[in-house]
Amino acid sequence: MEWTQLWAGVTFAAQNGDAEGLLTAAAAGGLHLSDIVPRPGGFSARCAAWHYRKLAALARRRRVRLRIQKRRGLFFCIRPLLRRRGLWAGCLVFLPLLLWLQGFVWFVEPVGLTPGQQARAAVVLWEAGLFPGNAVTQEKLAAGEYALLQSGEFSWASLNFMKGKLVAEAAAAKPVPDIAAGTLHGLRARVSGTVVRTNLVSGTMLVVPGQAIEAGQGLIGTARAERDGTLIFQPAAGSVRAQFEWENEQDAALMLPIEQLTGQQAVHRTLFWDGHAVALPSLHPAPGRAEAAAIVRHYQPEAFGLPVPVFIEETTYYYKASTDLERTEEQALALARLQSKQALQQNWPDFELLARKEDVSVEENTLHYRVVYTITADICK
């Protein structure tokens, strides 16, 4: 096949009339025919599509009937598209629109952030108006960087925007090292107990291991005497671990009214673009706060794997109903023990448990739990 027929070529059949004269006239007129095959009453051949009209005029003079059998080539593949004026008008509108949308956020690329930091930074940028579908200005970029630094999680932040791409770079803030600054008023005991171990960092240790102490008694002082009797004042810093008893009480109801999910839900979506919010249609009305629990999430839609410069807020309402939760005494006791252990952990984070004494009673559908822990912990305050 000639290269001209790769663009647009036709296969035709010629019958009746002076078919041989048609071949001679076509050759004389520079109309190149290929794949000429004799047929009963004529022949079949191929030619370039733009030669077919001249060939048809020669055929009419010789009373030869031409009939196209097959069209082939790239032109016939795209010809249906060429006839669609709306498609080309859409392309003409799309290109300027695409250039204009380069000033909007298409997607956010975080750099140097963990998944958790990315989620928290996205919330901060959302509040600053920097999310897909919104126009970007230098004021918004400066406000976004300031908001990231004000969050306290990042020690350095930079926002760079170019042609729809917002690059968010940040460095996590390093924790401030613990410095034993101590106190100028001395350290005293929070509770009564027996000293087990001491650790002096600064000041004067006033107790020794094995000594019984009372609540409020001085443990580490701020004065230290030299050999000549001169007093030197130092901030009091260190720790004194003591053994003592700590008591806690908890009440756990055996019958508890709760809000239980029913399994029904309703979804409402809101589209955000360029500072505008458009509520998308929903089949169900939004319930009240007393009727359902609301979970909100944000996501960016995609078209053929490419992000679209809009943002959607999806609110899912999970309906709930009031019911009574029945607990067995074993379940209530386990819950009371857990709450007491949490209270112990909150009051004495560095505790070491030595013993535990419990007292359990049930009265009017309520389990009363009392426990006495024997622990060792740092009692300085």
The count of structural domains within the chain is 5
> Is 182 contained in some domain?
no
Residues of the chain with pLDDT under 70: 1-6, 82, 87-88, 93-94, 97-101, 175-184, 224-229
> Is 178 contained in some domain?
no
Q: Alpha-carbon distance 15 to 333, whole Å?
A: 102
CATH code for position 155:
3.10.20.310
Give CA separation, 148 vs 132, 138, 141, 226, in Å: 18, 15, 11, 52
> Is 86 contained in some domain?
no
pLDDT tens by residue, 221-251: 887 666 666 777 778 888 999 999 999 999 9
Residue 291 sits in which domain range?
257-322
Quote the crossing angle between the two packed helices 138-150 and 115-127, to the nearest 10°.
130
Strands 165-172 and 107-111: parallel
> Is 97 contained in some domain?
no
> Is 85 contained in some domain?
no
308 and 332 assigned to the same domain:
no
46 and 59 assigned to the same domain:
yes
The DSSP H or E segment spanning 88 is helix 85-100
109 and 73 assigned to the same domain:
no
Radius of gyration, alpha carbons of the chain: 43
pLDDT in the model for residue 167:
85
pLDDT in the model for residue 181:
46
pLDDT in the model for residue 1:
47
Which residues touch 310 (CB under 8 Å, ≥6 apart)? 132, 133, 271, 272, 273, 300, 301
pLDDT in the model for residue 176:
54
74 and 7 assigned to the same domain:
yes
